[in-house]
Structures are given as C-alpha cells and as structure tokens.
Structure 1
Amino acid sequence: MAAVDLTTHPGHLARRLQQAHYLLWTTMVSEEITSPQFAVLNALVAEPGLDQRTAGERVGLDRSTTAEVVTRLSRRGLVDKVRDPQDGRRFMLRPTDDGARTHRKLALRAARMNQVFLGPLTPAEQAVFLDLLQRVSEAAESLRNPAEPVAY
C-alpha cells in the first residue's frame, strides 16, 4: 500500500496549524497565559459575571478544561470566582483589575500575532479562510452536541 498524502487530510493540517499557532502564541503573546486562558478572560471582559459553564461554552471548552482554566486564572489573581447566591453550585466570574490590564496587554499582542499568522494570505483570502474555519468549527461543535443538526 502506498503512503497517504497527508496534505489532503484536514485533521493533519489542523494539527500543524495548531502547532504553528502555539509557537506564535508563546513567542509573541505570552508564555504564562495560554490561548484558552486568554479566551476565557476575553469572554469575562465581554460579559462580566458569567457563570463558569457559560464562560466555557462561549469559547468552546468542555467543563473539565474550563474548570482548570478558571482555577489557573483565579490563582494568578486575574479572575474573581464568587458563588452564585441563588445557586450555590454555580460560580460567577469577573476579571480582576489585574485581569483587565492583562487582557488589554494580551489583546494587543494577539492582534499582532494574528497579522503574522495570517500574513501569507491576502486580506480577501484571510476573510475567506476565517469564514471557512468558522463554518467547519461550528459543524464540528454540532457533532459534540447531537441535538443540533449539522448544516453544511
């Protein structure tokens, strides 16, 4: 049997893309705050007071990953985690002042990193690329949640 051309396999290309993103993130944005941690912090800057489950859903993280990310952000003093007075099982999350400052700094760096990451593409290609990634990501999300039909 002949070797498979992995350049035609989206999963292989997605993994390579993720590796490139990780390298750029750690060199241009932060070695301490991961991309998923930034995503949760960003969601909380946009909507302070989200509960932990909703914050994770906003950024596409599963429950256990969200819990770990929130714990790390809380330990760093970037997020306040307060029990919901109406439901003791839920935690309401807000960025601290340090969390808001960190978010502003990382958002600027992430914007620069995205310019480098998408640099090989023209502006029109970047728009198409992001649209296609969004569509594939949304379809993949619905595979995790079978209650929502997959629309191609």
Structure 2
Amino acid sequence: MSGAVDLNTHPGHLARRFQQAHSLLWGAMVSEETTSPQFAVVNALMEKPEIDQRTLSEHVHLDRSTIADLVARLARRGLLERVRDPNDGRRNVLRLTDEGARVHRKLVTRTARMNRVFLAPLDEMERETLLRLIARVTDAAEDLRA
C-alpha cells in the first residue's frame, strides 16, 4: 500500500482551494446576490453590447448550458434583456438594462477592492506572474477540451 501524496503538489486541489477562497471573499466583499460568473456576463455585455449567447459563451469561457442558465437568471432579475438582432431578425442578442449597468458600476468597484485583498500576499510582479500562469494553464486546458 502506498503512502499519502502531498496535495499541495496537485494543481487541481490547489485550484479548488483557490476557488473556495475567492468565493468566500466574493460573498463577503462583492455580492451575495450576483455571483462571479454572473458578473463576468454583465461585464462582457458592457464591453460587447448586443452579442448573442454563443458569442457571449466564447467571450467569457463558459459552456453554453452555463451561459443559458446565467442569462436566464440575470433576465429574471431585470439586469439584461433579449432583443431581436436589428441586422438579422431570426436571431436574438443580449443587452444590459439600465439596472444591469448600475449593478455593473457598483460591482466593478467592489471587485477591484476584493482583488487587492485576495492578492495582497503577493507583490506586484508576483501578482502579474500568477495571473499570467493561471491564464496560460487554463487556456491550454480549454484548447485540449476543444
């Protein structure tokens, strides 16, 4: 029988702990009502207004079923709406409502503050390195899935 492994050498275990820490801080410092993935959707629609769900899914790197659920929840809260594409009447695009834009403004400030707290143990160069490495690993994993 082999001995236990050091889970601190397992990226998946560390990623789960990282995500748990992020979720706790998000709930305490940003919002208990709007989740981080919901914020990603609202933020994407601020950046790229009137895109369809497929394009949104690609933009925020979430699968289509997750995007469909997030869009439905945000629409029920009155933060976004589906409208006919003025250039193609067969297609719907997504648009933030005034309330969605207001929530975005509020959350941008809070997320910036939370990120400073979350990454406070690192100096500026370490923060940049961490974010660059996480992006590289996740991009490569997404390429494998595709």
Q: TM-score range by the shorter chain?
A: over 0.9
CA distance in 2, matches of 1:37, 1:143: 25
Correspondences of 1:2-151 after superposition (within 5 Å): 2-84=3-85, 86=88, 88=90, 90-145=91-146
Distance 2:64 2:89 in 1: 18
| TM superposition score normalised by structure 1 | 0.91
| Structure 2 residue matching 1:58: 3-state secondary structure | helix
TM-score by length of structure 2 reads 0.95
Give the aligned CA root-mean-square deviation in angstroms.
1.0
1:137 maps to a residue whose letter is T
Secondary structure, counterpart of 1:121 in structure 2: coil
Question: SS at the partner of 2:4?
Answer: coil
CA offset at residue 42 of structure 1?
0.3
Residues 17-54 of structure 1, C-alpha deviation per residue, up to 9 Å, x if partnerless?
A: 00001101111100011110000100000010010111
Aligned length: 144
Partner of 2:92, secondary structure, is strand
CA distance in 1, matches of 2:145, 2:38: 21
Distance 1:143 1:31 in 2: 33
SS in 2 for 1:50: coil
**1:39-97 deviation digits (Å, cap 9, x = unpaired):** 01000000100101111111111000000000011000000112336253x42001111
Query: Can you give the 5+ residue segments of structure 1 that lack an aligned partner in the other structure?
Result: 146-152
